[in-house]
Amino acid sequence: MLKFKSIISRFLAIFFVSTLSVYSQAESTVITIKSDENAPVINKHIYGHFAEHLGRCIYDGFFVGDNSEIPNTNGVRNDIVEALKKLQIPNLRWPGGCFADTYHWKDGIGPLDKRPTIVNTWWGGVTEDNSFGTHDFLNMCELLGAEPYLSGNIGSGSVQEFADWVQYTNFAGTSPMSDLRKENGREKPWNVKYWGMGNEAWGCGGNMTAEYYANEYRKYATFVTDWENTGSVVRIASGASSDDYAWTETLMKNVPAKMLGGLALHHYSVIDWNKKGESVDFTEDQYFGTMSEALKMEELVTKHSAIMDKYDPAKKIDLVVDEWGGWYDVEKGSNPGFLYQQNTMRDAVLAGSTLNIFHNHADRVRMANLAQCVNVLQAVILTKEAKMILTPTYHVMEMYKVHQDAKLIPIKFVSPLYIYNNKSLPALNVSASKDSKGLVHVSMVNVDSKKENKIEIDMNELGVKSITAKVLTSKALQDHNSFENPTKIQPADYKGFEVKKGKLIVTIPPFSVVVVEGK
Quote the Cα angle for 55-57-62, to 5°. Answer: 140
When the beta carbons of 337 and 496 are compared against ligand AHR, the nearer one is 337
Residues 6+ apart with CB under 8 A from 96: 52, 53, 54, 102, 103, 122, 151, 199
DSSP letter (8 states) at residue 480: B
When the beta carbons of 16 and 273 are compared against ligand AHR, the nearer one is 273
When the beta carbons of 49 and 235 are compared against ligand AHR, the nearer one is 49
**Nearest partner of 488 among 398, 401, 389, 399, judged by Cα:** 389
Terminal-residue alpha carbon distance, the chain: 54
323 is an active site residue: yes
Please name the amino acid found at residue 207. N
When the beta carbons of 147 and 322 are compared against ligand AHR, the nearer one is 322
- Buried b / exposed e over 477-513, threshold 16 CB at 10 Å, is bbbbbeeeeeeebebeebebbeeeeebbbbbbbbbbb
When the beta carbons of 201 and 411 are compared against ligand AHR, the nearer one is 201
- Please pick, among 128, 200, 216, 298, the residue that the annotation labels catalytic: 200
228 is an active site residue: no
Please give the full DSSP string across 308-320, using - where no structure is assigned. HHHH-TT--SEEE
CB burial of residue 24 (10 Å; 0-12, 13-18, 19+): middle
Q: How far is the CB of 503 from ligand AHR (least distance, A)?
A: 44
Q: How far is the CB of 151 from ligand AHR (least distance, A)?
A: 9
When the beta carbons of 97 and 518 are compared against ligand AHR, the nearer one is 97
When the beta carbons of 155 and 189 are compared against ligand AHR, the nearer one is 155
* 3-state SS class at 365: strand
CB burial of residue 415 (10 Å; 0-12, 13-18, 19+): buried
Q: Are 371 and 50 in contact (CB under 8 A)?
A: yes
142 CB-side CA count, 13 A:
14
When the beta carbons of 55 and 352 are compared against ligand AHR, the nearer one is 55
Q: How far is the CB of 155 from ligand AHR (least distance, A)?
A: 11
Q: How far is the CB of 100 from ligand AHR (least distance, A)?
A: 8
Q: How far is the CB of 96 from ligand AHR (least distance, A)?
A: 5
Q: How far is the CB of 340 from ligand AHR (least distance, A)?
A: 12
- Tell me the residue nearest to ligand AHR as measured from the CB: 97
- Please pick, among 128, 216, 323, 398, the residue that the annotation labels catalytic: 323
Q: What is the spatial distance between Cα 64 and Cα 67, in angstroms, rounded to a whole number?
A: 8
- Alpha helix ranges (H) inside 65-209: 78-87, 134-144, 159-170, 176-183
DSSP E strands: which ranges in 270-308?
A: none
Q: What is the spatial distance between Cα 29 and Cα 20, in angstroms, rounded to a whole number?
A: 14
Q: Which residues pair with 206 in a beta bridge?
A: none
Q: What are phi and psi of 82, to 5 degrees?
A: -60, -45
When the beta carbons of 40 and 96 are compared against ligand AHR, the nearer one is 96
Q: Are 443 and 73 in contact (CB under 8 A)?
A: no
Q: What are phi and psi of 123, to 5 degrees?
A: -125, 85
Which residue ranges make up the site for ligand AHR (CB under 6 A)? 52, 96-98, 199-200, 323, 371-372, 377
Q: What is the spatial distance between Cα 192 and Cα 197, in angstroms, rounded to a whole number?
A: 14
CB burial of residue 228 (10 Å; 0-12, 13-18, 19+): exposed
Please name the amino acid found at residue 195. W
Residues recognised as catalytic: 200, 323
